[in-house]
A = this chain, B = another copy of it.
Amino acid sequence: MKRLAVLLSGRGSNFEAIADRIKEGKLLARIEVVVSNVDAAPALEKARQRGLNTVVLNSQELGKEKFEQTLEKTLKDSKVDLICLAGFMKILSPSFIHKFPNQILNIHPSILPAFPGLDSQKQALDKGVKFSGCTVHFVNEGIDTGPIVLQAVVPVFESDDEQSLSNRILAEEHQLYVKAIDLVLRDKIRIKNGRVVRSSSQK
Contacts and interface: CB of A to CB of B under 8 A. Distances in A.
Nearest to A191: B128
A195 interface: yes
Contacts of A115: 113
A133 interface: yes
B130 A147 contact: no
Nearest to A128: B195
Given A112-B114, A114-B114, A128-B148, 18 more contacts: A111-B114, A111-B129, A111-B131, A113-B115, A113-B127, A113-B129, A126-B195, A127-B148, A127-B195, A128-B194, A128-B195, A129-B148, A129-B151, A130-B148, A130-B150, A130-B151, A131-B133, A131-B153
- Chain A residues touching B, range: 20 to 34
A17 interface: no
A198 interface: yes
B129 A147 contact: no
Nearest to A147: B128
Most interface-central of A114, A147, A198 (chain B CB within 10 A): A114
B196 A128 contact: yes
A89 interface: no
Interface in A185-202: 194-198
A24 interface: no
A155 to B, nearest CB: 9
A77 interface: no
Nearest to A130: B151
A151 B131 contact: yes
